Amino acid sequence: MADTDEEKIYEGTVGFIFDFEIDHMEEVLGEITNQKLKVQKPDGTEEEWPVTIDMEAKTFRHIVPSDKPLIAGTYRFQPYLEYNTFKGTWGTVKLKVTRKFS
C-alpha cells in the first residue's frame, strides 16, 4: 500500500511534538541532568535541541519552534543525558521529512 499524506511529515513543519521514550527512565527519577537531543539534520549539520522530561510517560519531549521549521530529508536523533557517572546518548531514531510539492 502506498504512503498516505497522513503518515508523512512535510518540510516547513513547526509545532510538531517529538516524544522519545527512554527505557528504564523510572530508575533515574529526578537524577537526570544535561538532557538534550543531539540532532543530525538532512543537510549534514549537527545541533543540540532542548527537551523537557515527562517522567510519568518516560519521555524526552521537543517541540519544533516556529523559527526553525523542519527541512526535507532524513533526521537522526540521539537523546543525550547524564546520570551519576553515565554521560552519553541513548539510542538513535531516524525520521524522514518529505519535500513539499508546489
Please determine, for residue 94, whether its predicted confidence score (pLDDT) is greater than 90: yes
> Which pLDDT belongs to residue 5?
57
CATH number (3.30.780, 2.60.40, 2.60.120, 2.20.28) of 5-98 reads: 2.60.40
| C-alpha cell of residue 30 | 529526578
User: Among 76, 60, 62, which Cα is nearest to 25's?
Assistant: 60
- Domain ranges in the chain are 5-98
List pLDDT tens digits, range 34-70. Answer: 999 999 999 999 999 999 988 777 889 999 999 999 9
Q: What is the DSSP string of 22-78?
A: -TTGGGGTT--EEEEEEEE-TTS-EEEEE-EEETTTTEEEEE--TTS---SEEEEEE
Averaged pLDDT of the chain: 87
User: Quick check: pTM over 0.85?
Assistant: no
> Which pLDDT belongs to residue 4?
55
